[in-house]
Structure 1
Amino acid sequence: MTGPSATEADEKPGFLDRMRARMPWFDHVMRAQERYASSKGDFYAAGITYFTIFALFPLLMVGFAVGGFVLASRPELIVEIEEQIRANVSGDLGQQLIELMESAIESRATVGIIGLATAAWAGLGWMNNLREALSQMWGLYRDELPGFVKKKLSDLLALVSLFLASVLTLALTALGNTTVIQDILMWFGFPDSTALSVLLRVASIAISILVSWLLFTYVIARLPRESVSLRSSMRAGLIAAVGFEIFKLVASIYLKSVLTGPAGATFGPVLGLMVFAYITARLVLFSTAWAATLPENMGEEPVPAPGPAVINNRIIHRPGLRPWQAAAAVAAGAAGALSLSRWRQR
């Protein structure tokens, strides 16, 4: 009895293939991973992270400018801050800090304008990268690209709408804070207890997931450059929201253990922000790839039209026999015929 041939062994499905055939949900996850990898999801996530970190510096400039305008409108507050500086920092260093603060207040308009312009530029780059990434995850191929001005205006509108949606979700998140809910219940006369604390914690997590679900659904459904399925986006947004809540829980535990040391206190916030932005971007993009690979969204990918046919005429010149070749052929034929006739006469 012979064993299986090499061809049969090669055609035998592997472990992952058998798992995909046995479990449809696992096959869907693998399809989403394949879409994420083929669409360069890690590349886009890194780009989103870069623009996220880059946009922080102009936003800080805008924050300093706003602080300068506030201090300029309240001279008594400036005097109080200067007194605090003189009381806590003596000598020339204290005077230098006061002069630095006064210089920052005087240049608040310039700093604010530069910060706003740089923040707008970085924000448009961030939005363009995010929208292109989402479109790639959905498998949206565009034959005609929009003009530069039209594209930037569209990105600006999307950036403003996302900012408003983020502000709304942050407000809802603040309302879902455990302390806020507890104060509201205490105001209504509910007594504090262990059971109430547990219920408040569960309610806070549920509200946080709900708010994240709304925000991620908006990002996945409305930010791609082409219209996509809202129903699929809602399912993907829920997956992203649950994953985001788990990630926040794990990150909070990890940061508490890391920020205790001097190195962690120095570099931890920046590194933590980079990791937070990168993981969040990957989570959103993978959820989008998951939505795009649902059976109802798995349409046939467009096949590019073939190029124009090119017909080349080839002329092949085959020269005839030369005179000496013809004479040799005749002589050979005559010799053969003579030999054949003599053989028959015998």
Structure 2
Amino acid sequence: MTATAHASDRILTTSKRAAGQGAAQQLLRRPVVAHLQQTLARYGDRLGNQFAAAITYFLVLALIPILMFAFSALGFFLEVVRPDLMGVVSDQIESVGGGDQIVDMLQQFLSGWRGVGIVAILSALYTAQGFMGNLKDAVRSQLSDEGVQKDQDGFVPRVVNNTLTLLVVLVGAGLAVSLTIVSSSLRSVIVRWLELPGWMDPVFQLVPLLVSVGTFWVLLFVVFTLLPSESIESRTKAKGALIGAIALALIVRFATLLIDMFSGSPTAALFGPVIAIMLSLNIVARIILMVAAWMGTADDHSMFQQVVTAADSGADPRLTAPPHGDTTAETAMTFVAAAGLIALTIVGFNRFQQRDGD
């Protein structure tokens, strides 16, 4: 009886394990799950993290010519349009402090705005080529079925195309952020103006988020129209842009919260905003490339309508093929580690601020 009972238990355990594996296989064969699995695999195979790091580097590098161009524009305004305000601005710079050398350097930037502007434009063209070149290669690599892609355009067409695309991206990103800020600031004003009850204010918090999603959707739709070497099916592009727009809107909210947290402490305010900006830019680059990988592995005909059957029944081998090594697991672990790092950063600075308050 004992041997029979043990044999029955083993048979029951084996049956349960087989049933569990069968259920897991059925889940992995579902279109949405298979699509996500292939997206993660392609993102890792096509060097998504490496491309995201390169894009982040050139984005951070672009902050220098942007600041130089801002000082050049301010110097032009103060010298040509409103020269009477030059003394006021100089007094404000001196009141901020930071040492005599820094004050003298800023004043020289304002007075020599022509040279600063020329250097800023040349530097911006260099960083634009690096940023747009890496972004274009990364997006095309995620979309193509032929591995990592390099831009084959000539020098002059590549420079012109990258510059025009960068202008579109900058205008779209600036418009998206501006609309988010304006809609956020007008929320409470509209509630007071219409004399709505207080519980309506949290409801109106959804308005800036919806505005951000809409503007980011338009921006991503345009980006994925300009960058790919071959056109993407409109339905896939619209859905992918919507997924990316939702993620980018949440990232903007997160970056604003993180910068506010860093600015709460004098010590953290020194490096905190820079860390928040670099982290946010890297996450934005990863989101764009992940959306490109999602589009590159999409099946425009049956991805969301049919359940994938076994490989021997004539199913798409792309959906039933096993992952390439441990690429999917490594990519997933990378995002988990990034999320953990973000959470630890938030908790750590909260503790730091509480200790400073005590």
Q: For residue 134 of structure 2, what is the aligned residue in structure 1?
A: 129
SS of equivalent to 1:194? coil
The answer to whether the 8 A contact 1:140-1:226 is kept is no
Task: Choose the corresponding residue for 1:52, options 34, 59, 77.
Answer: 59
1:186-215 CA distance string (max 9 Å, x none): 5xx511422331232122221121112221
Give me the whole-angstrom Cα distance separating, in 2, the residues matched to 1:144 and 1:246.
32
Identify which of structures 1 and 2 has the higher relative contact order when contacts are C-alpha pairs closer than 8 Å and 6+ apart: 2
Matches of 1:106 and 1:248, distance apart in 2: 35
Cα shift at 1:295: 1.5
Name the CA distance, whole Å, in 2 between partners of 1:102 and 1:238: 45
Which of the numbers 267, 283, 286 marks the counterpart of 2:287?
283
User: Following TM superposition, by how much is the alpha carbon of 1:170 offset from its aligned partner in structure 2, in angstroms?
Assistant: 4.1
Picking from 76, 80, 91, the partner of 2:88 is 80
Residue aligning to 2:122: 117
Instruction: Report the equivalent of 1:29.
Output: 36
Does residue 150 of the first structure (1) align with residue 157 of the second (2)? Answer: yes
Residue 59 and residue 140 in structure 1: after superposition, are their counterparts in 2 closer, same or farther (change >3 A)? farther
Q: For the residues of structure 2 that align with 1:300 and 1:14, how far apart are their CA atoms?
A: 19
Alignment equivalent of 2:200, drawn from 181, 196, 203: 196
Amino acid paired to 2:62: A
Which stretch has the larger CA shift, 278-287 or 244-253? 244-253
- The more displaced of 265-274 and 241-250 is 241-250
Give the corresponding residue for 2:251: 247
1:134–1:98 Cα change, 3 Å: closer
Distance 2:154 2:297 in 1: 30
Does residue 205 (structure 1) correspond to residue 209 (structure 2)? The answer is: yes
For the residues of structure 1 that align with 2:252 and 2:63, how far apart are their CA atoms?
21
Describe the superposition over 1:4-49 as per-residue Cα deviations: whole angstroms up to 9, x where unpaired: 9xxxx9xx9699655413x432211101001111111111111110
- TM-score, L = length of structure 1: 0.71
Q: Which runs of 5+ in 2 are unaligned?
A: 1-6, 12-16, 304-315, 319-358
Aligned pairs for 1:161-310 within 5 A:
161-175=168-182, 177-183=183-189, 190-296=194-300
- Please give the alpha-carbon distance, in whole angstroms, between the structure 2 residues aligned to 1:148 and 1:233: 29
SS of equivalent to 1:295? coil
Distance 1:112 1:154 in 2: 22
Conserved in 2, the CA contact under 8 Å of 1:259 and 1:265? yes
Letter in 1 for 2:41: E
1:168-187 superposed Cα distances (whole Å, 9 cap, x missing partner): 43454355x1332444565x
Alignment-mate amino acid for residue 216 of structure 1: L
CA deviation vs aligned residue, 1:27-78 (integer Å, no higher than 9, x gap): 1110100111111111111111001001110111111111111222333222
Cα pair 1:131 1:225 within 8 Å, conserved: no
Total equivalences in the alignment: 286
In the TM superposition, residue 116 of structure 1 has moved relative to its aligned partner by 0.8
8 Å contact 2:233–2:300 — kept in the other structure?
Answer: no
Deviation at 1:276, TM superposition (A): 0.5
Task: Assess if the C-alpha contact under 8 Å between 1:132 and 1:225 holds in 2.
Answer: no
Q: Structure 1's 252 and 30: CA in aligned 2 closer, same or farther, altered over 3 A? A: same
Q: Superposition RMSD on alpha carbons, in Å?
A: 3.4
1:20 corresponds to? 28
Q: Distance in 1 between matches of 2:246 and 2:135?
A: 21
Query: What is the identity percentage for the equivalent residue pairs of Structure 1 and Structure 2?
Result: 26
Distance apart, 1:231 and its partner CA:
1.6
SS at 2:199 equivalent: helix
Give the whole-Å Cα distance in 1 for the aligned partners of 2:177 and 2:255.
19
- What is the match of residue 62 of structure 1? 69
Report the counterpart of residue 319 of structure 1 in structure 2: none
